Amino acid sequence: QQQVKQSPQSLIVQKGGISIINCAYENTAFDYFPWYQQFPGKGPALLIAIRPDVSEKKEGRFTISFNKSAKQFSLHIMDSQPGDSATYFCAAVSTGNQFYFGTGTSLTVIP
C-alpha cells in the first residue's frame, strides 16, 4: 500500500521554467513532510521540508506548498536549471519517525 502518492512520474521543463511536483497522503498521523533530491548513482538527500502548521516554505528557488485539509503538498522549482535535473521524492513522516516516500519524479531541465 502506497502511503504517499506522487505525480507526475516524469517531467520535462525548459530552462527558466517552473517545475511542479505534487503529492498526496491519507494518514493524518504524518506530521513532517520533507522533499528529497537524488542524482544518479547517489542516495537521496534532503532538499527542503515543511511542518503541517505552515502552509508554505521557501528556500531559494524551491518552495513547498502545503494544504492540510486536502492532505496534499507540492514542490515548486522556480527558474529551473539543468543542474536541477534529478529524481525528486516527497515523503511523509509519522510521529513514530517512519519515513514513507512517494514513487519519485524524474525531472529533466532542457537547456
Residues of this chain that interact with other proteins (CB under 8 A) are 2, 6, 31-32, 34, 36, 41-46, 49, 51, 89, 93, 95-104
C-alpha cell at 69: 485539509
Name which of 28 and 95 has its Cβ closer to other proteins.
95
- In angstroms, the CA 87 to CA 97 distance is 23
The torsion angle over the Cα atoms of residues 42, 57, 4 and 100, rounded to 10 degrees, is 50
Nearest approach, Cβ of residue 47 and other proteins (Å): 10
CB of 75 to other proteins, least distance (A): 15
